[in-house]
Amino acid sequence: MESIEQALKAFDQDGRLQKRIERQRQELLDSAIVQAFLQDHPDVTRSMIDRALSKLYEFKKERGNCQTCPGLDHCPNMIKGFQPALYTERGSIEISYSRCQLKREQEAEQAKLQLIQSLYIPKDILKATFDDMEQNEERADALSEGLEFALSANPGEKGKGLYLYGKFGVGKTYLLGAIANELKTKNIQSYLIYTPDFFREMKQAIGDGSFQEKLEAVRKAPVLMLDDIGAETTTAWTRDEVLGPILQYRMAEKLPTLFTSNYDYDELEEQLAYSEKGGIERLKAKRIMERIKHFTTFVEVGGQNRRSM
């Protein structure tokens, strides 16, 4: 039986096939991403290249997909969300795959949601942008402050956040969503938390042993957004063992915190002063409020109640 090589030679008597193969090989080696690999690995020989042509083709194709990424849901790569890399080992060119940036972000988001159940992003918040927000005189300052924060945010260097105050339904949470989505374009992670649910969850976390893990995750969030603070029934424990340590850490580490509330600074201080036992602890409430006041800019969000329209 004749060899494959002999059969090919008999079939390609005029050499056209061989020329086409050589041309495709050269186009592969001339591609920018393969050239970058070869320049970083001057020890690669022609023999190594010839033995690894299929891997080089695979690398070029898959990385080409990454360069024109259509998004994680439509990733055309063999392993969705993974991108290839070339390396040499024992005189051979090898290929490996690792999670791309979008895949890592997705997994980080899923890990957050599994850990902190009170993290929530309703569908309308997922789509919130500054361009879509209603522009009028009552909201102009709030939108300006929100956009300014999103564009200049630098967790770890600039720790000042925002305190968004306004009546029920005026769009405070939607503004947080627009800020969060703008931050996402800068690869800055934010935690958007519905505060009443978060405090209830932290109480339950004592029983299942996850309290410290949850507290650490929230304390260290690059940007923390506490939505509807003051709406929950205040207890001395949530104020002193949950909210206080979170704010103290974030203040020290210059990690910005944003709040929304139906209460202004003074009204929130009154809320925080009351405990579940009916007592009033003004000094402890004042300490919490001093941290909030010092590290936020007070922003009033005006307008009509859009939930009743």
Alpha-carbon span 58 to 216, nearest angstrom: 42
Check residue 271 and give left, alpha or beta (phi > 0: left; psi -120 to 50: alpha).
Answer: alpha
Residue type, 300: E
Quick one: 220 and 285 in the same domain?
yes
Residues 88, 168 within the same domain:
no
Structural domain span for residue 140: 116-308
In a domain, 106, yes or no: no
pLDDT in tens, 221-242: 999 999 999 987 778 889 999 9
One domain, residues 151 and 238: yes
Which pLDDT tens digit goes with each residue over 142-193? 999 999 999 999 999 999 999 999 988 778 998 998 998 898 888 888 889 9
Q: Which of 75, 100, 125 is the last residue of a domain?
A: 100
Of the residues 43, 75, 100, which one is the last residue of a structural domain? 100
In a domain, 49, yes or no: yes
Assess whether pLDDT exceeds 60 at residue 77.
Answer: yes
pTM across the whole model: 0.66
Tokens of 172: 């405070």
Same domain, 211 and 272: yes
Average pLDDT over residues 24-48: 88
Q: Is residue 172 part of a domain?
A: yes
39 and 78 both lie in a single domain: yes
What pLDDT is recorded for position 216? 93
Distance CA 268, CA 261 (A): 8
pLDDT at 260 over 90: yes
Region of poorest pLDDT, from 27-31, 175-179, 200-204, 276-280: 276-280
What's the residue count for the chain? 309
Q: Tell me the per-residue pLDDT of 91-138, one tens digit each, with 9 for 90 and over.
A: 999 999 999 999 898 888 776 655 544 576 677 777 788 888 777 777
The reply to whether 111 falls in a domain is no
Q: Calculate mean pLDDT across residues 35-62.
A: 90
**Is residue 146 a part of any domain in this protein?**
yes
Of the listed ranges 32-36, 129-133, 295-299, the least confidently predicted one is: 129-133
For residue 228, the domain's CATH number is 3.40.50.300
Q: Where a domain ends, among 57, 72, 100?
A: 100
Name all contacts of 265-273 with Cβ < 8 Å and 24+ positions apart: 265/163, 265/289, 265/292, 265/293, 265/298, 267/230, 268/229, 268/230, 268/292, 271/230, 271/234, 272/230, 272/234, 272/239, 273/234
Q: Are residues 66 and 184 in the same domain?
A: no
| Shared domain check, 169 and 22 | no
**307 has pLDDT over 60:** no
- Residue 109 within a domain: no
Task: Tell me which of 140 and 120 has the higher pLDDT.
Answer: 140
Residue 110 lies in a domain: no
CA–CA gap between residue 51 and residue 95 (Å, rounded): 13
26 and 121 share one domain: no
